[in-house]
Structure 1
Amino acid sequence: MDNKNPKVVVVMVPLPAQGHLNQLLHLSHIITTYGIPVHYAGSASHNRQVKLRLNGWDSQSLTKIHFHDFELPPYDSTPPNADLSVPFPQHLIPLFEASMHLRQPVSNLLQQLSVKYNRVVVIHDYSMAYVVQDVKLIPNGESYNFNPICAFTYFTSVWEGIPEEAKPFRVDPNDVPECMPSQEGCITNEMLEFVVNQSKYLGFESGWLYNSTRVIDGRYVELVEKLSLTKDPIKYFALGPLNPVEIRSESRKNRNQCLKWLDEQEKGSVIYVSFGSTTSLTDDQIEELAKGL
């Protein structure tokens, strides 16, 4: 790349949920280290959120990324409900549906960049396929689907949903352990419908990206490639881990207070447990988990 006259530009389009926003922001930082300009397209409030929560990079590195703060239409945002039969954050679905309105501003951005660069590369969250569908109308544009879950999780979830008689090939029993719990009841029908609708707009991408590594996840990257749901053969990349595994000294002053506290503890004395953002727990469940730990 010629830093003074770059020929390629990358546009990131994340789903507005922290785990998704964060992964693509880490990838944005990595790409900018190669002298490639990156445009990060999202809502104003969520761009602000992900920048404030960034860890592992010098805050000055954010100036190398072009943030596009688009507005979303009003949407309902109810408090989380831990008493739902399915422990999925149902209250986020109105936000995800509102984010579909980003299609037009993102399309306008791609059109503007297409006349300035020889190649426009769009990296989008799996659940933002509808928003980026117009990239196929740009002669010098191409897209890459970013899957925010590892290849193991993606493959086993898709494999479970395929009827036995329709499975395209056989897998080694060790590839899908019998002890794997069913994913039935893990996601609401509304969210499942949202994801299925997004998949309808896939199929023209040049490749799939995973925040994973072939050292750990390689077998499942191969199985996903073999299972390929696209008409034309595409490439699958394991690019992770995207978050910095080595914290540079100049970024320590900007570290989160939780990490500063952790530095003061004895080695091997702290257990970290994360349930992600897709589970709502009742007070009784939290108490029982605390007792178990």
Structure 2
Amino acid sequence: MECEKRDSKMGKEMRAERLHCLVVPFPTQGHINPMLQFSKRLQHKGINITLAPTLFIFNNTLKGSYTASSSISIHPISDGHDQGGFAAADNKEEYLEAYKEVGSRTLGELIGELKSKGAPVHCVIYDAFMPWVLDVAKRFGLLGGAFFTMSCAVGNICCHVNQGELKLPLMEGSGEISLPGVTPLQPADFPSFISDFGSYPAFLKMLVDQFSNVKNADWIFCNTIYELEEKGVEWAGKQLPLKTIGPTIPSMYADKRLENDKSYGLSMFQPETDICMKWLSERADGSVVYVSFGSMAEVKEEQMEELASGLKASNYPYLWVVRASEEAKLPRNFAAEKGLVVTWCPQLDVLSHDAIGCFVTHCGWNSTLEALSLGVAMVAIPVWTDQSTNAKYVSSVWGTGLRAHPDNEGIVRKGEVERCLREVMEGDQGKKIKRNTTKWKETIRKASDEDGSSDRNINEFIAKLSQS
């Protein structure tokens, strides 16, 4: 009997080893990193992975760094803007159209090339921002899996817009709005492209178009955890073949099952690691406020000034990430008296450091998921995209942070910054928040651990792919 079990297990492993997934990420760091982590999980379970980033991403961030430390094959495709990429494109809509046209052709060529070399693709896993990838996969008779890098709640909102169930623009004076699969929201809690209708039409179109052909996908992967968004996941699961597979962070910071998985392997900015970690090591446990608004968010100059004043008034030591492109917005003659200002840092190492007591964040989904996974209390100051919705869940659903309130001009003033920091760091509400962060940290760890909700979903995907 034991021999039969062992032979059966070996047979499954051999079948899995022959399976090959082609992974096509959207060309920004916040979208590539989650898909890289998912790829590592699949590879760890015996799936062969080929990553197809854009040529620009490959030449400027992956070449010679990630390839040297991973057995994941990398075959870049062209987006039609190989010298500057998405970030440098003046007209995002034109960029996306060019990527669709050129990418469809070069992706098809890659699929044919891999087949001719004896490495045929069985499934294409693509960022849902690029629904045209699914069309290419189906043209070649391949299975397709859409990967949503956002929360399930935000995905559900976009789905309602796509289906015409949420009419835009929102009516002036609208009160609380209830949608299936989403916690009740005020207009200001919706993604900025919806609440501030017309602000970024290209991005709104991209968000809504994720659902243009999604019913043709064989799987929908969502970068979340079932336990975090039970009602939303259950609603979405009735519409689509949804599988939650989070947290998409390096295994060292979650279940620790993937050996040497300590970093994403991709950073578009050079982190000042030694400076950050040495400075933190000299601070008391739980004493430091960490401030970062991610890799893309642009903070208004007036907001930077108010934030600087609030940090100074709070009197807590702080580590503040201000990208080089944002440094000019710092107040004149600004001196970080009790803090350290850097252009980039190793965020996971920082968030997991004992010195960190609070994370001031824009509430981008990756940063939110990292803070939840590591049990760090948050002060949310959303800037755009899905961040207002994430902030709503952080403050009102999961209870792991406070949302700072802006004034009528949309600026979070010095006094509000100071109030939120003091409450999270020392107040009664802060104590409750920290109890919640501990609870969610353990829940999220279990989800990715053996036989956890996310782990089971990944295993079920592999089993069905093997059968197909």
TM range (shorter): 0.7 to 0.9
Q: Is the 8 A contact 2:180 2:235 kept in 1?
A: no
Question: 1:238 — aligned with what?
Answer: 244
The 2-side partners of 1:219 and 1:102 are apart by 36
Greater CA deviation, 29-38 or 191-200?
191-200
Question: 1:129 — aligned with what?
Answer: 131
Question: 2:220 — aligned with what?
Answer: 208
Gaps of 5+ in 2: 1-11, 168-177, 312-468
Decide whether aligned partners of structure 1 residues 68 and 285 sit closer, same or farther in structure 2, where only a CA change above 3 A counts. Answer: same
- Between structure 1 and structure 2, the one with the greater Rg is 2
The 1-side partners of 2:25 and 2:93 are apart by 15
- Which residue identity does 2:183 align to in structure 1? D
**Residue-pair matches, total:** 270
Deviation at 1:105, TM superposition (A): 1.6
Deviation at 1:23, TM superposition (A): 1.2
Deviation at 1:219, TM superposition (A): 1.8
Question: 2:78 — aligned with what?
Answer: 71
Decide whether aligned partners of structure 1 residues 40 and 267 sit closer, same or farther in structure 2, where only a CA change above 3 A counts. Answer: same
Q: Is the 8 A contact 1:123 1:146 kept in 2?
A: yes
Gaps of 5+ in 1: 81-88, 165-169, 229-233
Q: Helix, strand or coil for the counterpart of 2:132? A: coil
Deviation at 1:129, TM superposition (A): 1.2
Question: 2:97 — aligned with what?
Answer: 97
Question: 1:147 — aligned with what?
Answer: 148
**TM-score computed with the length of structure 2 as normaliser:** 0.49
The 1-side partners of 2:309 and 2:260 are apart by 39
- CA deviation vs aligned residue, 1:7-29 (integer Å, no higher than 9, x gap): 21011111111111111111111
Deviation at 1:143, TM superposition (A): 0.4
Question: 1:84 — aligned with what?
Answer: none
- Which residue identity does 2:244 align to in structure 1? A
Deviation at 1:212, TM superposition (A): 0.8
Greater CA deviation, 123-132 or 190-199?
190-199
Q: Helix, strand or coil for the counterpart of 1:175? A: strand
Decide whether aligned partners of structure 1 residues 53 and 261 sit closer, same or farther in structure 2, where only a CA change above 3 A counts. Answer: farther
RMSD of Structure 2 on Structure 1 (CA): 4.0
Q: Helix, strand or coil for the counterpart of 2:52? A: strand
- CA deviation vs aligned residue, 1:212-252 (integer Å, no higher than 9, x gap): 111212221112223x2xxxxx4211111111252579567
- Relative contact order higher in (CA < 8 Å, ≥ 6 apart): 1
The 1-side partners of 2:189 and 2:21 are apart by 38
Q: 2:165 aligns with which of 154, 159, 162?
A: 162
Decide whether aligned partners of structure 1 residues 245 and 217 sit closer, same or farther in structure 2, where only a CA change above 3 A counts. Answer: farther
Question: 1:231 — aligned with what?
Answer: none
Q: Helix, strand or coil for the counterpart of 2:42? A: helix
- Which residue identity does 2:99 align to in structure 1? S
Decide whether aligned partners of structure 1 residues 10 and 75 sit closer, same or farther in structure 2, where only a CA change above 3 A counts. Answer: closer
The 1-side partners of 2:124 and 2:181 are apart by 37
Decide whether aligned partners of structure 1 residues 72 and 119 sit closer, same or farther in structure 2, where only a CA change above 3 A counts. Answer: closer
